[in-house]
Amino acid sequence: MEQRKTISSNIAFRKYFLSWMLLLLAYIITEYFNLNRFWDYGVWTIALLTFVLFISLKKVEFTKNALYFDNKKNEYESITGLKVFEIQQRSFYLFKTNSTRIFKRYHLTELGGIGYFAILKILFTKSADTELVLAEFLKLLDEKSNIPKTH
């Protein structure tokens, strides 16, 4: 059996800790600071949108034959679209598959970005293995997926 390589970064931290801490922070801000109603709604809107974004993140692993979103196997051929968007200099990737169910069709993740700890790890290790894994994943995705190529 081929070893899976993890390509997503900090998913568990964002999904299970940071998302709930943002809601707690929003509660503390609106409860203990005397803000008018506009700012209360603004804080809760931003907190809820960020909560939904973080809670919907999926861990992505891959092999040469398949892609795994939260340990659910998907073939490369089933990927039909890829959208990339950036929030506060963090790139999020939305994979679209050919599944008929809406909740299994879209998979949101944040791929291995380079943060402060990753830079320190690269500096103190002999090889930059994280960049090689990302390049290998993108090459496999380009070769085997059904994402339309734009020129």
Give the sheet arrangement for strand 106-109, strand by strand: 79-87, 90-97, 106-109
The answer to pTM > 0.85 is no
- R_g of the chain computed on alpha carbons: 18
| CA of residue 82 relative to chain centroid, distance | 12
87 C-beta neighbours (distance < 10 Å), count? 10
Tens digit of each residue's pLDDT, the chain (151 residues): 678 888 887 888 888 999 999 999 999 999 998 888 999 999 999 999 999 999 999 999 999 999 999 999 999 999 999 998 888 778 888 999 998 888 889 999 988 655 566 566 666 666 545 456 777 888 888 888 888 877 5
